[in-house]
Amino acid sequence: MKKRGKITFFVVFALIVLLAYTAIAGISTRYGDVENIIIKGVDSIRWGIDIRGGVDVTFTPPADVEATDDEMSAAESVIKQRLVSQNITDSEVYTDYQNDRIIVRFPWKEGESDFNPENAIKELGETAELTFREGNSTDGTGAPSGTTATNIILTGSDVKSAKAGQTSGQSGSSAQFVVQLELNDSGKEKFSEATAKLAPSNGIISIWLDDQMISYPNVKDHITDGIATISGNFDAESAKELADKINAGALPFALTADNYNTINPTLGLDAKDAMVLAGGIALLLVCLYMIIVYRLPGAVASIALVGQTAGAIAAISGYFAPFPSFTLTLPGIAGIVLAIGMGVDANVITAERIKEELRSGKSVNAALQSGYKRAFSAIFDGNITVIIVAIILMGAFGPPASMFATLLKPIFQFFPSAITGSIYSFGYTLLVGVIMNFVMGMGASRLMLKSVSKFKCFGSKWLYGGKKDEE
């Protein structure tokens, strides 16, 4: 029993070292040029646009337009498609249906020197150009060619609406997902002509958004009433996607971007390095202070603090598989440093309690026991309040569909989503820091300290803040 107690320290210590190492370096295997990341390290952290530069823009319909949810969803889909076609893969798009806003954040593309944020914003917000064309022949670049280039059957203004639907299962076949298309009067005639011409040969009408072909159905019937159904291998999601894209081309408005924020990457990267340096110095100073003031419990607290910081980094990089990675901004880093300072609180409270218990004449063992027990309620209460604050921060400043924003919807629904994203990250690092502080302070350091106290050489009361002569 006694022996097992002694080993605990080394086990916990080794685990913390392991966590710290893997959280920073990550684990990956290399096979030729292909790197297979098993555990994400610091390199995998997604930095916020205030660090690596980029664009944060809120699109809204023009002031006099009351957009429907369908229209907002259509607008979102066109923005997403344009981000992809501009080769911006690492973007975040949030739609706030309640307040008709689309928030788009995307970073500066790495290695690009003359990225023009104004053009990018402008292109994203423009009305999409929807065309229905005859055939689906393309040239090498994917642009329409031949009759497909010259023969435009319909444009966006001819389309009334598109929506995803299901056909009732006909005899033998199960229900199918389809896109139902409804045309305006202006489109009916043109569509009727085109389908009359193409139906006999089962010809193709391709649908284009901007310069991209999004669908190319075959024509089966001559359609005169302007109501058509596009079928194919759709599932619920892909049918909605196509319907959204067609609707985007039929949107009667262009999005305006009055709120935007662009940042050059050089500005942020310097700031990031500075903040990381600050974090390192702060960690070192706090550890030194703890060791000087609290001796052995202080040293143990320092180990736990390293574990806490590593845990916070891991929670950001997406180290723990079910939790996704999280964008880290400058205030987010400040949150980690703040948590380093606050993080020793649990250890300070217990160390003070232990000291008191020793003063009242208890043995080291008994003092540890009751010290941890009696400090618990204060630590628990204190942590809860910071957690409440962190959750409010995340709810108020987070994207509309995030967990805490949904949780706090009853309060914040009257207010539109935040137009800055950097505080959200602070809320997250604060939350993670406090939780890690609790885990490490009440868990890891308790285990370590109790185990260490079983060694004869660590039995002196002085080491725990008692008087030297009281052996």
Which one of residues 158, 241, 345, 357 is an interface residue with other proteins (CB under 8 A)? Answer: 345
- Min separation Cβ 311 and other proteins, Å: 17
* Euclidean distance between CA atoms 402 and 392, whole angstroms: 12
The end-to-end CA distance of the chain, in Å, is: 24
By CB under 8 A, what part of segment 16-45 binds other proteins?
A: none
- Min separation Cβ 342 and other proteins, Å: 5
- Min separation Cβ 375 and other proteins, Å: 9
Which one of residues 104, 257, 306, 435 is an interface residue with other proteins (CB under 8 A)? Answer: 257
Exposure letters 290-329 (e unless 16+ CB within 10 A, then b): bbeebbbbbbbbbbbbbbbbbbbbbbbbbbeeeeeebbbb
CA 467 to chain centre: 51
Whichever of 27 and 285 has its CB closer to other proteins, that residue is: 285
Which one of residues 341, 369, 402, 460 is an interface residue with other proteins (CB under 8 A)? Answer: 341
Kindly list the distances between the CA atom of residue 95 and the CA atoms of 67, 237, 258, 418, 467, in Å, as whole numbers in the listed order: 12, 17, 16, 12, 63
Asked if 360 is part of the footprint of other proteins (rule: CB under 8 A), the reply reads no
Which one of residues 94, 108, 234, 426 is an interface residue with other proteins (CB under 8 A)? Answer: 426
Residues forming beta bridges with residue 183, ordered by sequence position = 159
- Min separation Cβ 294 and other proteins, Å: 8
Asked if 255 is part of the footprint of other proteins (rule: CB under 8 A), the reply reads no
Query: Which amino acid, residue 358?
Result: L
Following CA atoms 244, 245, 249, 253 in sequence, which dihedral angle do they give, to the nearest 10 degrees?
Answer: 50
Stretch of 155-163, 197-205, 393-401, 449-457 lying at the interface with other proteins (CB under 8 A): 393-401
Whichever of 151 and 261 has its CB closer to other proteins, that residue is: 261
Site string for other proteins, 55-84 (x = CB under 8 A): ---x-x------------------------
Nearest to 379 by CA among 430, 439, 427: 439
By CB under 8 A, what part of segment 112-131 binds other proteins?
A: 117-118, 121-122
Asked if 430 is part of the footprint of other proteins (rule: CB under 8 A), the reply reads yes
Nearest to 239 by CA among 323, 179, 159, 326: 179
By CB under 8 A, what part of segment 399-418 binds other proteins?
A: 408, 411-412, 414-416, 418
Q: How many CA atoms lie within 13 A of 256 on its CB side?
A: 7
Which one of residues 249, 331, 398, 399 is an interface residue with other proteins (CB under 8 A)? Answer: 331
Following CA atoms 397, 401, 315, 297 in sequence, which dihedral angle do they give, to the nearest 10 degrees?
Answer: 50
Whichever of 173 and 377 has its CB closer to other proteins, that residue is: 377
Size, binding site for other proteins by CB under 8 A: 77
Which one of residues 198, 396, 448, 449 is an interface residue with other proteins (CB under 8 A)? Answer: 396
Site string for other proteins, 363-382 (x = CB under 8 A): --------------xx--xx
- Min separation Cβ 10 and other proteins, Å: 27
Q: How many CA atoms lie within 13 A of 123 on its CB side?
A: 15
Which one of residues 153, 342, 367, 368 is an interface residue with other proteins (CB under 8 A)? Answer: 342
Q: What are phi and psi of 461, to 5 degrees?
A: -65, -25
Following CA atoms 383, 450, 464, 444 in sequence, which dihedral angle do they give, to the nearest 10 degrees?
Answer: -30
By CB under 8 A, what part of segment 165-204 binds other proteins?
A: none
- Min separation Cβ 206 and other proteins, Å: 32
* Euclidean distance between CA atoms 243 and 178, whole angstroms: 9
Asked if 86 is part of the footprint of other proteins (rule: CB under 8 A), the reply reads no
